Amino acid sequence: VRTSPSSSKKSSGTIAHSPTGMAFGSEIHALFETVGWIDEDSVAMPNTEAGTLVKDLFGQPEFNELFSRKGRAVDLFREQAVESILDGKWLSGVMDRLHVFRDADGAVSEIELIDFKTDAIADPEDLVERYAGQMRMYAKALGLLYPGAKLRCLLVSTRLRKIIECQ
């Protein structure tokens, strides 16, 4: 049986999916995909609503911190495909952004799993609850790949302009 982490998203029954909202979310994801490390590369965003929002987020200290390498030994993966067998099911998905930190010996010591969310949700806890299943599935897959590494799961909420830890 094949499954995807996004299929485990909890439905609240209160969120309407409009074509405009979905297009905005797709543009936000595409813009974040172009960003490497903001302390190493210039980040040019288009003069659109999504571009202005992403640029503004990088002006906030917590976003600046998350998207800066600061000379650390960290591998960056964007739109990283994942295929794994978990609990007898074939997991197939794409992680938005992954930071894989290495210690002085080059061993993986910590991982930041980052997922971009544009949901029109007012409460961070609702966002965490909605995507907990998805993030757990990704975390399990990463645990197989990097056993023993510390894992942080982060939801980047563009609506709330917050980074929310989900574990």
pLDDT cut 90: percent of the chain above it: 71
Separation of alpha carbons 62 and 118, rounded Å: 17
- Dihedral angle of Cα 49, 53, 55, 57, to the nearest 10 degrees: 180
Q: State residue 14's pLDDT score.
A: 45
Question: Which candidate, 139, 94, 144, 133, places its Cα nearest to that of 112?
Answer: 139
Run of H or E residues at 86: strand 74-86
Q: State residue 47's pLDDT score.
A: 95
Task: Give residue-wise pLDDT tens across range 46-75.
Answer: 999 999 999 999 999 999 999 999 999 999
Phi and psi angles of residue 12, each rounded to the nearest 5 degrees, phi first: -95, -15
